[in-house]
Amino acid sequence: MMELIFLTDEKLVEALKKGDQNAFKILYDEYAPKIYGILKNYVRPNELEDALQEVFVRILKGINNFEGRSKLSTWIYRIAVNVGKDYSRNYSKEIERPMDLDSEEPETYNVQPVSDTNVKKEVFNELSYEMILEIMEQLDEDERLLIKLRDIDGLSYNEIAEIADLPLGTVKSKLHYARKKLKKLIEEANLI
């Protein structure tokens, strides 16, 4: 059996197209944490595992059509964003359902509580990654995604433009304003 640990994207795609289980394991180990990070911007915590599985199902279903016109990572991130947006839309539809006041059965909604960063400020005396992530939750999902892809994952502006399906200039502009907004939120939390 060939060693797949040091495969190029092209070789990995080729192995995946042949149904190689080791190639899938490498793909999963490499991309699952990154995809998970993207999905957290869109998907409720109790649905993250399902969404992650959906991304990998779409990758496997679509791998035979992947032609390599973009980087494999860009293609995968685009799938993750699309799945995340699908989940986000479905969640919005749940919330927007009108209440039936005549119904005898009470409506139940699974709404996640909004965390209070001031409580965290009292608990932690120093800036931490967890606190930044909590503060980032106050940003719009698109702003969180741009900051994650650029500042955490280190993707290029061109890759982000392709993943987010936005013009390059729009990505740069939105990222600039998202960073300004994040900085203001951090300052308001008295973390810097």
Other Cβ atoms closer than 10 A to 132: 16
Confidence (pTM): 0.62
**Which pLDDT score is estimated for 70?**
87
Q: Residue 140 — left, alpha, or beta (φ > 0 → left; ψ -120 to 50 → alpha)?
A: beta
pLDDT 10s digit of each residue in the chain, 192 long? 444 456 788 999 999 999 888 889 999 999 999 999 889 888 888 888 999 999 999 999 999 999 888 889 999 999 999 999 888 887 655 554 444 444 444 444 343 433 343 333 433 434 466 677 788 888 888 898 898 888 888 889 999 999 888 999 999 999 999 999 988 888 887 655
**Would you list the DSSP string of 79-135?**
HHHHHHHHHHHHHHHHHTPPP-TT-SSPP---PPPPP-HHHHHHH-SS--HHHHHHH
Q: By the 8 A CB rule, do 179 and 187 touch?
A: no
Domains of the chain with bracketed CATH: 9-95 (1.10.1740.10), 117-188 (1.10.10.10)
d(CA 30, CA 125): 34
d(CA 23, CA 2): 10
d(CA 82, CA 9): 22
d(CA 23, CA 175): 34
**Which pLDDT score is estimated for 111?**
39
The CA angle 110-116-119, to the nearest 5 degrees, is 135
Under 8 Å CB-to-CB from 145, ≥6 apart: which residues?
Answer: 38, 41, 42, 81, 164
**Which pLDDT score is estimated for 92?**
56
